[in-house]
A and B are shown apart, each in its own frame.
Chain A
Amino acid sequence: MTAHWWNALAVLPALLLSPLLLGIIGKTKALAAGRKGAPLLQPYRDLLRLLGKGAVYGRTATWVFRAAPAISLAAILTASLMLSAGPLAAPLAFSGDLVLFAYLLALSRFALIAGAMDTGSAFEGMGASREAAFSAFAEPAFFLVLGVLAWEEKALSLSAILGGADVASWSAKIPSLALAATALFLILLAENSRIPVDDPATHLELTMIHEVMVLDHSGPDLAFILYGSALKLWLFSAVLVSMFMFSSGPAWVSMALFLGGMFGVAVLVGVTESVMARLRLGRVPQLLGLAAVLAGLAALLLMAGGRP
């Protein structure tokens, strides 16, 4: 893959539009519930307001608590360099970058968990423990999905295994692709703390997972965390959408398709949240197991189909 200076532009949609996904999810849920809902741009306003504020720190907290949000966001930002946005190729692409992508997200999680444990609060410890557990169960499923995609395209770089669909091989691939996409959607819901795994709108600490981990953060730190989770949602959605992107066609069409797909995923998340209740915590590993089974089935279909 040749590196051009304009490849750096590929991160711009993610940087600029990721909070919009949260706005769309919120709007979808409000409309489904018959409410008017917050404006689409509300997440941007929240972020700006938080960036302008001061901060309150717990007396127990050390430098770990203060540095965690910035490090977590930095890891997600670095991971965003590896995804292309429609026609814009990723700035960083090499054979094996999918492993780096997954481990950068792990670093971001580790930083937030350490920050939560630093507060000494039982609530935050509880959230941290659940987040660590569910992410650990999600990890094998995510790698299986990556393995399926890598197998289909015979490549090991995210930009090479995503967005390279062509009409000729489409029909042969679609069954395994659909299974892998379903698995990835389940992982997306779990990793981004959405219903049915976690409820970002709950008001009871005992039932929270991700939200309770960041209870003590305030001001710019909280803004970093909120922006980081929006960006993470964008990254997972981008992988999901890019699985179905065609490599041919004019650039503006594929950009429009990409963005349309991204907003479509946000609507889908919103609809899922509107029609489903949360699972009991003990059921979440089973959901992630289901994701792994679906991805495993996709792999079996591919292997049984022989090598292209």
Chain B
Amino acid sequence: MNPEALALAAPASLLIGAAVSLACGKRSGVAAWVAILATSFAAVLGTASAANVLRSGAGWSIEAAWSLPWATFSVGMDGLSAYFLAFILALAVPAAAYGKGYLAHEGDSRWAGASWAFFQILVASMAVVVLARDGVLFLIAWEGMSVASFFLVIHDHRRPEVRSDALVYLVATHLGAAALAAMFGLWGRGAGSLAFAALQGAPLSRNVAWVLFLLALVGFGSKAGLAPFHVWLPKAHPAAPSHVSALMSGVMIKMGIYGLMRFILMSGPPPAGWGYALLGIGALSAVGGVLYALAQHDLKRLLAYHSVENVGIITMGLGAGLLARTAGLEAVAMAALCGSLLHVLNHGLFKSLLFYSGGAATQAAGTRNMERLGGLLRRMPVTGAAFLAGAAAICALPPFNGFVSEWLIYSGLFNGALQGPGAVSAVLFVTIPLLALVGGLALACFAKASGVVFLGEPRSEEAARCKEVSPWMTVPMVLTALACAGVGLAAPWALRIVAPAARELAGISSNAAWNTSLGAGPLSAVVLAGWMLLIVAGIMLGFRRLLLKGKALSEAPTWGCGYAAPTARMQYTASSFAQPLLEPLSRLMRPSLRKRRPKGIFPERASFSSHYDDPADRTIFDPAITLLERLAGALRPLQQGRLQVYLLYVLLTLVALIAWEVLA
């Protein structure tokens, strides 16, 4: 088959799968099987089509008439679309398999078929988003993605907090979509058509280009979870079932990144200001995301804040790459853009891994509160090991994949600082310690999460009773963990997948400048060092075994400084672990603390609790919503709830319209 047909068959087969799943109704097992098969089939078709474009380097596009107004049915594929299509479909397969295991305990519920149908619609609409070459088709697919994911988030609709979190998500995603509709409208008015080809050719004045960029930043940034548009993310992702959290956090938010990149490709050579703006908003998201992740007690919410952080890192790479492009530094731009693009895949892999394993742990224990977990590695060995691998990968520790993409971004920042002209150089130089700070904080945060949840002793009865989950859940974990290590240890190969898209964004036609100065050599040295690390670690572990052979090994209680009867509650808690980091920043983060100090000579009760409100909620959205409510309250007298009054409104409207028609 030709690549065009293959690419279109992928979302088509998912939609057929969705219809079949829906028809399964209550039979959740069958519906899940349909979803797994349809997703795998689509993944094979889609990656084959993407591989064709990535290998040959020749994109394609087709256009057909469409009955919708202002629309043509245009689809196409270039390096960027091919990379994202393969990424979406490849990560949807383990999510579907994991979901079958995750939802198994619900049995045959009434919503099973619908839930799996929405899962496939979500994947299909993401595939169409990256293939679309027309504004209307793009927005339809975008809306499909938002609505399908809303229904997936509200899966546990019997819990009131899930309903309210899902509503926040629905509103946020539509505010973003409104910005995008405005962007396409404004752009299309100048271009005379909403087809991407026409938009791309439309001449833009400097001011219009900036307005379009800001609209794109709001619309795509709110989907990506860039601060301060991220408020929905830490609410919606934890509320969803874990396979959906993995798909949303790992894959769906990257559609915002794709949108930003597509916008930059279509709007022509970007001005330096866009690079600075992206770098700034990326740095804000990265630092803010990791700080608020540290402050969380809810494991899945912690992971969600880390998505804000990692999307920030991706955006920093994108901004640095664009800055280097405007400064004419091709090789530097390639390094930063390759890092940014590769981090999309890497974050997809390790965030899926973390949501799979973290979700398995919270499901087994029945709580997401880390202060009630602990010691799960002993009870769930595969899940625990998977989480540790994911933690190492997200902290960018070698030899895992996170290090490779962050190294590429560092390489772009350092080289841009050394080679760039004055302002570019200074800004990139300042970004380096920020990224380093994010790295240090992320390490502390995942030391906390993996330590408190999986190591030590269980802090509650529920945690003590946890059992390893089914192979449906563990096998996807093991596979994604292997993929994390694989991308890290075979990075030059992974780079070939992102290089075409990076070239498009850097506005160059060949890798030559990059390969000779920065790219291939140092990257293979990074990989070599990763292998060396593995070998040295193997030698050290072997040496240790040799030393301990035949020696007296004994077990004893953990040293507790002479306490006779330690309890598991005495372990360091997640809040205590984060305290030395958050305390110096308390003026910035403004925790709300509730303390009940011990009183008297024989104190009986004392308690302490801390809570960190998101500053974007506190300073932007809560006041805005309060204002909106007050304004809407003024309209309340109109709603009388009496039929006669509404009939009067209808009559008045008709009279007004007739008057307008007659007079105008």
Contact = CB atoms under 8 A, between A and B. Distances in A.
Contacts of B410: 96, 99
Interface residues on B, range: 35 or more
B443 A132 contact: yes
Given A62-B377, A110-B392, A216-B558, A95 B411 contact: yes
A123 B433 contact: no
Contacts, number: 267
30 contacts: A56-B555, A57-B555, A61-B558, A62-B378, A64-B377, A64-B455, A77-B540, A92-B529, A95-B415, A96-B414, A99-B411, A103-B396, A103-B398, A113-B447, A116-B451, A118-B451, A124-B572, A125-B571, A129-B576, A132-B443, A132-B444, A132-B448, A136-B581, A137-B440, A140-B436, A142-B436, A144-B433, A151-B417, A219-B547, A220-B544
Nearest to A286: B584
A177 to B, nearest CB: 17
B433 A120 contact: no
Contacts of A117: 447, 450-452, 455-456, 572
Interface string B425-465: 11001001111110111011011101110011100000000
Interface string B563-601: 000001011100011111101100000000000000000
Contacts of A124: 558, 572
A151 B418 CA distance: 6
Interface in A115-157: 116-126, 128-130, 132-144, 147, 150-151, 154, 156
B348 to A, nearest CB: 21
Contacts of A100: 398, 403, 407, 526, 529
Contact of B577 (A129, A135, A216): A129
B521 interface: yes
Interface in A204-220: 205, 215-216, 219-220
Contacts of B450: 114, 117
A95 B522 contact: yes
Interface stretch (B143-151, B201-209, B210-218, B530-538): B530-538
Interface residues of A, number: 83
B395 A106 contact: yes
B125 to A, nearest CB: 37
A141 B572 contact: no
B551 interface: yes
Nearest to B558: A58
Interface string B513-549: 0000010011001101100110011011101100110
Contact of B584 (A109, A285, A299, A303): A285
Contacts of A121: 558-560, 571
Interface in A272-302: 281-282, 285, 292, 299
Contacts of A141: 433
Interface string A43-68: 00000000101111111111010010
Contacts of B403: 100, 103
A220 B443 CA distance: 27
A61 B558 CA distance: 8
The 7 closest A-B pairs by CB, nearest first: A125-B572, A117-B451, A136-B440, A54-B551, A120-B456, A139-B440, A140-B433
A152 to B, nearest CB: 10
B375 interface: yes
Given A92-B525, A215-B559, A220-B548, A74 B553 contact: no
A120 to B, nearest CB: 4
A147 B443 contact: no
A140 B536 contact: no
Given A104-B529, A130-B580, A219-B551, 6 more contacts: A60-B457, A94-B525, A96-B522, A104-B398, A113-B451, A121-B559
A215 B429 CA distance: 40
A107 interface: yes
Contacts of A221: 544
A199 interface: no
Contacts of A150: 414, 417-418
Nearest to B568: A120
B497 interface: no
Contacts of A133: 444, 580-581
